[in-house]
Chains A and B, each alone.
Chain A
Amino acid sequence: MSDILIQAASLTKDYALDEGDIVRVLHGLDFTIEAGEFLAIMGPSGSGKSTLMNLLGCLDTPSGGHYFIKGEDTAEMTPDQLASLRSRQIGFVFQGFNLLPRKSLIDNVALPLVYSGVPRLDRARIARAILHEVGLGDRLRHRPGQLSGGQQQRVAIARALVNKPSLILADEPTGNLDTKTSEDILALFDRLHRQGLTIILVTHEADVARHADKILYLIDGRIDRIQVNAHAIQ
């Protein structure tokens, strides 16, 4: 458990505003995450959590500093190398699900397989299996719009898992769900964690953060503290 999967070195992010001003949202973050770790990121609204997640998911590029995955500097990668990283290593669960409304659940879940070059017949099989796993095996042909929020969240998680990534990034996966549904989804994350996946999730709720090994507190774009949860010490 000492392989370093992710390393952030003086990671900064600036946004250029329309008026020409530049605001610094992340102020030189340094941290490492080991393979198989379960990390929760907490912090007040506007502290830069989503910004950080976008950097970790290679959806955005840092304004300064370096971000290494498995020891490789993402700044030196071409757009296509980053795409292949997103395709094979990273599963991203968005705050707003981001499912394609015109495609069926099975097609939504199978889409990452299309881009990673899995043959058509295998795609359907894999996508079906994963939808079964998240408890939606009987709704393969439904459209996202025909599902509840919790169900859509599970589809989004299924899609993030379909390429067997080593890293799951989830931005407030339980943000607008009731307690029962949240528990179901967290149980799923716990199971994935036990299977050895690295998980990073953003949350506002202490109950959710308790599932993680470590909690990273972000305040105004700076790391306030990193706290190790009691159950992870043993």
Chain B
Amino acid sequence: MQFSDTFIEASQSMGANRLRTGLTMLGMIIGVASVVLMLAIGQGAQALVTESIASMGSNLFIVLSGTSTAGGVRMGGGTVPTLTYKDTMAIGELESIAAVAPMLPNSAPMVYGANNWTTQVVGTTSEYFDVRDWQPSLGVVFTPTDLRSVNRVVLLGKTVVSHLFGDEDPIGKTLRIKNNPFTVVGVLSSKGQSLDGRDQDDTALIPFTTAQRKVFGNQFPGMVRYAMVKAASAEVMPAAEAQMNDLLRQRHRIRAGMDDDFSIRNLTALAQTAQGATKAMSMMLGAIAGVSLLVGGIGIMNIMLVSVTERTREIGIRMAIGARTFDILAQFLLEALMISLSGSLLGVILGVTIAWLVATTIGMNVVVTLTSIFLAFGVAAAVGIFFGFYPARKAAALRPIEALRYQ
């Protein structure tokens, strides 16, 4: 029996029971579509996390001031100012530390012409750009001179620029932050979303000294909200953490047995945790989708078994007029394979379409890769062969007379 004959026989029997074939195919379609979609969502989330981690900068710590116990209530980090500008400078002296940036963030309205926009204005030093591996795409960063002279200069994030300036070139323009005139010296390159989903480009950077003395005023002179610290390398991260801890306890005169009045967080470790979590999530999504693919496969097996039983007599007739075991096996196996392959083709189309809809309508980050399509397709074909084989073999193993006698 030639392949084309087997193909015709299989298509005819698929066509003879269109509704049933369609329903079986539906199981496969849903299975494959969900695998494609879930992989797309999982990979989208992973891509997002990887991107934000890369944008965060590497080997990072964040040192927060004040987690002391006040009247038995443990306060959140950064609530009680205990960390000084001088502390951050001392941290910068440590051998294991590459750069330190003191941070004084505050929400403030900014006005340019008729436009206004409220954003997070951060007072920091020029080391911040090294800590975050963040360079301006236009203009320059501020200099130690700007800090010493308490200059009113500002670097803007992309989002702020687009809200205040539109298409206008902001460099050299003057805008007002809390009614203080500032000159725009640079525009930061785009960083996109942070791990916690904030827009990192919605920010403005001003010299630390200017922030302290001219913009925010200061109830606690010389204090910083937190500091961002970059270790010299990934290997020295544990040593750097211990050294900072010792240094700050010593500077803050904390006796042995007393609680720290600061806290150090390893952002790189947090990032790794986040990465691990998204990976686990996308694997779980894939597994759930895989289960539905399996259910689709069992549906095929079920239908093929019914089909074999229903057509036992026909199998007997075919054998009586010369069909070999292989001819019968091939016919039923091909039928199962055709159902699963056409089902998975439609499933891939459906899955990609839904992924596209999800991306365009709710803006979820999805990544459809060729690998995931081939994976879904390959698994579906394997499922078709695997679940088609048993009924096909059952049909082929019948003795002609038994099949003919079947009522």
Q: Do A and B come from one complex?
A: yes
* Chain A interfacial positions (CB closer than 8 Å to B): 54, 57, 59-61, 79-80, 83-84, 86-88, 92, 94, 98-100, 102, 111-112, 114-117, 120, 159, 163
How many residues of B sit at the interface, in one of the four size bands? 20 to 34
Q: Which of A87, A102, A112, A163 contacts B16 (CB 8 A)?
A: A102
Which of the 9-residue segments B157-165, B285-293, B321-329, B332-340 touches chain A? B321-329
Interface centre among A60, A88, A159 (most CB of B within 10 A): A60
Partner of A115, one of B16, B313, B327: B327
Residues of A within 8 A of B318 (CB): 111, 115
Q: Is the CB of A115 within 8 A of B325?
A: no
Q: Looking at the complex, which one of A94, A102, A115 makes contact with B322 (CB distance below 8 Å)?
A: A115
What is the predominant secondary structure among interface residues of chain B facing chain A? Answer: helix
Are the CB atoms of A86 and B322 closer together than 8 Å? yes
Which residues of the other chain, A, contact B404 by a CB distance below 8 angstroms? 59, 94, 98
B400-A87 in contact (CB<8A): no
Can you give 19 A-B contacts (C-beta < 8 A)? A59-B320, A60-B400, A60-B401, A61-B399, A83-B319, A83-B322, A83-B325, A86-B322, A87-B321, A94-B320, A94-B404, A98-B313, A100-B317, A102-B12, A112-B322, A115-B324, A115-B327, A117-B2, A120-B4
Query: Which residues from chain A contact B400 at a C-beta distance below 8 Å?
Result: 59-60, 86
Q: Does B314 make an interface contact (CB < 8 A)?
A: yes
A86 touches B1 (CB 8 A): no
- Determine if B5 is an interface residue (Cβ-Cβ < 8 Å): yes
Residue of A nearest to B4 (CB): A120
Cβ contacts under 8 Å, B325 to chain A: 79-80, 83
A98 CA to B321 CA, complexed, in Å:
11
Q: Which B residues, 291 to 327, have Cβ-Cβ distances below 8 Å to chain A?
A: 313-314, 316-327
Nearest Cβ distance between residue B194 and chain A, in whole angstroms? 64
Find the A residue at minimum CB distance from B400: A59
Measured between beta carbons, the chain B residues less than 8 angstroms from A117 are 1-2
Asked if A100 and B322 make an inter-chain contact with CB atoms under 8 angstroms apart, the answer reads no
B16 touches A80 (CB 8 A): no
Closest B residue, CB atoms, query A98: B317
Say whether B399 contacts A60, CB under 8 Å.
yes
A94–B323 Cα distance when bound, in Å, is: 17
* Nearest CB in chain A to that of B317: its residue: A98
Contact mask B142-179 → A, CB, 8 Å, 1/0? 00000000000000000000000000000000000000
